[in-house]
Every structure is written in structure tokens, then in C-alpha cells.
Chain A
Amino acid sequence: MIKRAQVSLKSIWPEFHKHQQHVHLKPFNTFTDYWKLWFMSIFILIVTALSPLGIVTYIHYELIQKSIDTELNLRTERLTATAKSSITFFLEERLDAMIFTVNEMGYEQLANDKKLAEILKNLKLGFGRLSDLSVIDMEGNQITHAGPFDLKGKNYKNQPWFLESLGKNNFISEVFTGYRGVPHIIIAVRSFKPDGSFFILRATLDTKRLIQKLASYKTGNHADVFLVNHEGILQTPSVNYGNIFEPTHLTFPSHETKSEVMMIPQKKTDPIISGYSIISTTNVTTPFIIMVQKKRAGMIHVWLDLRRNINWALGISIILIVLVITFASTFMVNKLYQIDKAKAETMLKMEQSQQLASIGQLAAGVAHEINNPLAVINETAGYMKDLYSLKTGAGNDAEMVELTNSILNSVDRCGTITRQLLGFVRQFDIKIKKISLQKLVDSVLNFHKKEAEYRGINVTVSIPDTIPDMETDSGKLQQILVNLINNAFQAVDEDSCLDIIGSQIDAKNIEIIIQDTGCGIPEDSLTKIHEPFFSTKQEQMGTGLGLSITYGLVEKLGGNISVQSTEGVGTSFTVTLPIKIQEEGLT
């Protein structure tokens, strides 16, 4: 389970995070910091993709907000106007009835208790909610009274409503409790008698009807419709401000009679939209201001629901965009990394092969110049040896023979080096032949049979018969195998193992692994082993050309070679070669 998780994580995890591991490719990479590239790509794409989305959403919100606010204001204004006209009509109707009564009946009839009671009864029938009716003279003395309260003989001279109504023909009071201790409104009409004095017909109006009327304009839980006076004292109960006579601390910027709407900000909740209008009848200005208040949040809940949905959609879109951008960026940067890596590898190979080629040119020149004098030394020393060992009559000087032998051995060694150097040049020509890998490996191992038996090295060859014959340069392939197997023999001690494993990896390529349980290659040498004249072997043992030539040969055959080695454990060379060499690719 854990293994599967690791595998799947590995397949998603971008390859470019390994960038630091390929230090040897660094000089050839176009980009150095893939993480930065990745972050930049994601950042730029996200900013580009999300900014318009954010701006459009913001503008959309603002527009909707504005149109909703306008709509709310209009609705509140309409409701205020409707409620106002209804209340105005209610008051006007009663005032007009009173004016009619005064003008129609005259003082004599009104001063009659019985008649007054009858008039009250009729008025109640016609208009309702008139609780009593009185006639008061200009001194404030109540002349007659009809109604449920016992107010006969009361003097109103010091009552605020009386003082206020003195200079006016018609008067509508604020709500007050007065002598009866019940909230009521007074409607008073002044009438002059023929002698020039005047009397007042006063009716009191129960506020219940008014409150009911206001309540009929309440739509929903979030609406509040009430009356206040010009000082902001409640004239009817309010949901938002409390009971009658409580102060609201509201101020009214406009004193015109048309409806106005204002927004009252709240500390903790959504603001309240407040419509108001001064109530004024054709005959008299009333002390009332009608207030229609609506909680903005309650009115815009449809919009809020819509906004929540938009926010959800926006959120999901943002997550999707970010995910897609992240995946796309990862994919693109990864591709870029792979291309860059491939490019760096090609450039590294090119540099290596150029290095090899130029070394080859130089080496060939050096070999040529050295081989001729070397041949002279060889023949001269050979002749000296001959003189002591072959010529009759000359003393057979063993020491002299030994000395010349050492000269000859050195010359032979120099000859080997120059031959290998010339090999650099020679490896650029290809001669294709059909060969069996199995047979080729066997022929190479034949040279080492005796040595392996003598040193007790266990050589195993595992090349299945199913591997097809190869069409390649057999000489070069043989040289590759000789070099690698020679190296392995030099690396292993007695009783070690050497495995040669051949396998077909796909339709076009085979793989040859030559692994030993020898001394291994130090880690810092691994990157240098292909360089000419680099050798880890002791002096006199290696020229440092073998692996360099091998690398060049493998490349020439269109293949790859890689090495894995652990010091003290062993080394494994993996050579991948095409079964059929592509001639057009060879130059």
C-alpha cells in the first residue's frame, strides 16, 4: 500500500525538483531555477486569469448594490407616500366633519348636552373612533360635553393644546394623555358667535384606530411604521424605538411635505432605510411625521442569497482556475525541464565527443611523430639484444640482455599507447557486419579463460538465445567488450564474480551489463572516467585511454553507456546499443 502510494506520488511529483541532482548538466542548462520558474508561471497566470474575474465581480456587486439601494429607496418612498396619504385622509375626514358640524349646528344646538350627545353618536356612526365631543368657551371653560369620561366643568385654559389652538381656526394636537390618562388626539374647530366671541368644538380621537391603520402598512417582520412629532417623540408605538412618548432622537433634514428617504446606519446590524413625511391637511398642519422604516438586510435577502450563490460559484471557479493553472504550469515547466535536460545532455555529449575528437586529432599527430623514433629505438635496442644473444662470438651478457629487454618492454608499452591514440582517429570509421552477441562475448572471454581459472574468478555469461543478431561494427563492439572486460579483470581480486548479462530492452535496442564485485570506482572519479588520460590504476598499469575510447566507440555505434559503482562493492557498466546501426546518423 505504502509502495503504491509512493509510486503514484512519484508519477505526479514533477521531475524538475530533481534538478539539483544533475549537477554535471548545470553548465548546459538554459534555466537554473525551475522552482522559481514554476512559481512565476503560476503567479503570472493566476494574476492574469483572476484579476478580470475579480474586477468584473466587484463591478457587478457594486452595480447590483446600487440598483438594489435605488429600488429599496423607491419602494420605501412609495410606501411612505401611501401611508401618509391614508393618515392625512383619516385626519382630514374627521376635521372636515367637525367643521361641517360647527357650521351646520351653530352654538345654540352644540351647547345643548342632549343635542351634543346625539351629534357624537352620529359622528361615531359616520367616522368612528371619536371618543367624546365638547364645546369650550374662549376662557377655556367646558360648556357641554358628550362622551364616556366625566370632564364636565373642567377648565382648559392652562392646557397646552388650548393655548396652542387659540390663534387658529382648526387645530390637530399631538398625542397626549391629558385629564383622562389615556393617549388621544384632539381635533378642535373654532367658531365665532355673532357677538364676536368664539367657542371651540373639540373632539378627541382614540389613537387605536390610527395605530391599526399604520399597522396595515407593515409588510413583513422587518418593517416599522409609526408617527413621531417634530421633536422626534413617538406618537404611536414603534418596533425599533419602543413605546409611545419615548424619544427617537431622529432628526429630519427636510421640512417639506413630500416623502423623503434616508439611510440610518446602525452600529451592529445592517443599516435601516427610513422614509418620512410631514403630515399636513389642506386646512391645518399637523404635528405628525410619518415614519416608514425597513431593515435593509431583510429587504435584500434575495440578493444576499444570490450573492452567496455567486460567491460559491466564484470560489469554486477560483479553485478550479488555480488547480488548472498549477497543473498546466507544472506540466509545462516539467516539459521545459525535460527538453532542457535533453538539450544539456546532448550538449554534454557533444562536448565530450568534441573533446574526444580533438584529443584524437592531437593524439594521432603525436602518435605519428613518436612512432618513427620509437621504431628506431626498438630496432636499435633489438639489435643490441641480438648482438648479445644471437651473434656468434659476442659474449652472452645476461645483464645486458635484461637491460635491453627493459628498453624493448618500454618501447612496446609506448607502442601500445600510440596505437590506442591512433584508435581515436580510427574509431570514426564504421564497418557494419551481422554478428551474434553471444559468439562475440565468447570470443572475447576466450582470451581471459586461463586467467579466470588461475585467479579463481567466477565468470558467468547470461545472454538469451532470443536476442537477434546485431548489425553493427563488430570490431568496435569487440573493442568495447575487450576494454570493459579487461577493466573488470583488473578491478577484481581472487574469488570474485564477473557477470555479463545481455538482454533485449525493446524492438530496437539491446543492453549489455558487465558487472563485477571488484574494488569499485571512487565517487569523485565517476564523472571523470570517460576523460582521456584519466586513470585510477597505479602507474605502469593504465594509460587512461581505455574507457575514454570505449565511451567514444559506444557513441559511435549509436548507443549509450552508463556506470554505477560503489567503492569496495563493485562496478556495473551498462551499454545500450541499437540492434541495427543507423548509417545515416553516423558521420
Chain B
Amino acid sequence: MEHVDILIIDDEKKFAAMLSKRIELRGHSSDICHDGKTALKWIQKKGDFVTLILLDLRLPDMYGIEVLTEIKKINPAIPVIVLTGHGTEKDRQQCEQLGAYMFIHKPLNIDELMTIMKRIKESSK
């Protein structure tokens, strides 16, 4: 199965598409899911072949925290960066407890993401 560097789970289609293109421009592969259920199915199928997941907290069908819980059930080893436009301190603490790799506010700095990506890849070697 083909390896995917970053899985973007975000209902904002334009944002996901642009981010995906920018990631690919920087030589990494990416895939997009627009809702929680699709994302979970994707992970069940290809979970072993993904380096990093970017997860939005507010999804149309599920709350991001639930998705994170499910991801960790499927594969606790996948680093998940929670990306949010309005996260509260409580959300942040909850995500950290659930084992999220990071908690980042939108808008996202692409260079920062690349640095993190590099670090994860190096540490998994």
C-alpha cells in the first residue's frame, strides 16, 4: 500500500485542498478526509502507512476529541496534531491527555509543519 505522509481531516474543503497542495509542493504525500467517519475508515484501512494526522476539532459528524479517541484505539502510535480555530484550554488539556502530539491554532504555519514532520520522521527511524 502507498505511504501517505500527512492525512488532513478537515471539513473546510478549500483549506484542506490548499494545504494538501502545499504539502505536496514540498515533496510530501497527503490525503484528505472531510468528516470523522470517513477518516476513521481511512485509518482502519491504511493506518499503518501514515506518518502524521492533522485533525480539526470541529467536524460535521463527530467532535474532534471523539475522532482522536477512536484513532488512538485503532493505532496509538500515529502522531496526531490537533488543529483548531477556536480551541479552549480545556480542549488542549483533553487532547494532551488523550495522547495528541501537538495542539495548534489556525492559521497554520507551513514551515512549522514541515519542521515537525521532519522531526517525526527522524525519530521514527
Q: Answer yes or no: do A and B interact.
A: yes
Which of B22, B87, B89 is within 8 Å of A429, CB to CB?
Answer: B89
List the A side residues contacting B12 at CB < 8 Å. 372, 375-376
Question: Does A468 interact with chain B (Cβ within 8 Å)?
Answer: no
Is there contact, CB below 8 Å, between B25 and A390?
A: yes
Taking A379-B19, A412-B107, A415-B107 as contacts, is the C-beta distance between A426 and B89 under 8 angstroms?
Answer: yes
Is there contact, CB below 8 Å, between A383 and B86?
A: no
Is there contact, CB below 8 Å, between A378 and B89?
A: no
List the B side residues contacting A368 at CB < 8 Å. 85-86
Give the CA-CA distance A420 to B25 in the complex, in Å. 32
Contact with B along A399-433 (1 / 0, CB 8 A): 00000000000011011001100100110010000
List the A side residues contacting B115 at CB < 8 Å. none
User: Which B residues between 71 and 114 are near A, CB-CB below 8 angstroms?
Assistant: 84-90, 105-108, 110
User: Which B residues between 11 and 58 are near A, CB-CB below 8 angstroms?
Assistant: 12, 14-15, 18-19, 21-22, 25-26
Closest to B13 in A: A376
Give the CA-CA distance A387 to B22 in the complex, in Å. 9
Question: Does A146 interact with chain B (Cβ within 8 Å)?
Answer: no
Contact with B along A374-392 (1 / 0, CB 8 A): 1111111011001100110
Question: Does A143 interact with chain B (Cβ within 8 Å)?
Answer: no
List the B side residues contacting A379 at CB < 8 Å. 14-15, 18-19, 22, 107-108
Question: Does A371 interact with chain B (Cβ within 8 Å)?
Answer: yes
Counting chain B CB atoms within 10 Å of each CB, which of A371, A377, A419 scores highest?
A371
Is there contact, CB below 8 Å, between B89 and A371?
A: no
Give the CA-CA distance A425 to B18 in the complex, in Å. 30
Give the CA-CA distance A370 to B107 in the complex, in Å. 10
Question: Does A364 interact with chain B (Cβ within 8 Å)?
Answer: yes
Question: Does A367 interact with chain B (Cβ within 8 Å)?
Answer: yes
List the B side residues contacting A425 at CB < 8 Å. 88-89
List the A side residues contacting B106 at CB < 8 Å. 371-372, 374-375, 378, 415
List the B side residues contacting A429 at CB < 8 Å. 89-90
Is there contact, CB below 8 Å, between A391 and B85?
A: no
Closest to A415 in B: B107
Is there contact, CB below 8 Å, between B25 and A375?
A: no
Give the CA-CA distance A374 to B22 in the complex, in Å. 16
Is there contact, CB below 8 Å, between A422 and B108?
A: no
Distance (whole angstroms) from the CB of A40 to the closest CB of chain B:
53
Counting chain B CB atoms within 10 Å of each CB, which of A367, A380, A390 scores highest?
A380
Distance (whole angstroms) from the CB of A572 to the closest CB of chain B:
31
Give the CA-CA distance A377 to B12 in the complex, in Å. 12
Distance (whole angstroms) from the CB of A273 to the closest CB of chain B:
100
Closest to A389 in B: B25
List the A side residues contacting B87 at CB < 8 Å. 422
Give the CA-CA distance A414 to B85 in the complex, in Å. 12
Is there contact, CB below 8 Å, between A386 and B22?
A: yes
Q: Which 10 A-B pairs have the closest CB atoms?
A: A371-B85, A368-B86, A379-B18, A378-B107, A375-B106, A429-B89, A375-B107, A426-B89, A372-B85, A376-B15
Q: Given A368-B85, A372-B15, 8 other A-B contacts at CB below 8 A?
A: A367-B85, A371-B86, A372-B85, A375-B15, A378-B108, A386-B26, A415-B106, A419-B105
What are 10 residue pairs bridging A and B, where the CB atoms are less than 8 Å apart in the complex? Answer: A364-B88, A368-B85, A375-B85, A375-B106, A379-B108, A380-B14, A383-B22, A414-B107, A419-B105, A422-B86
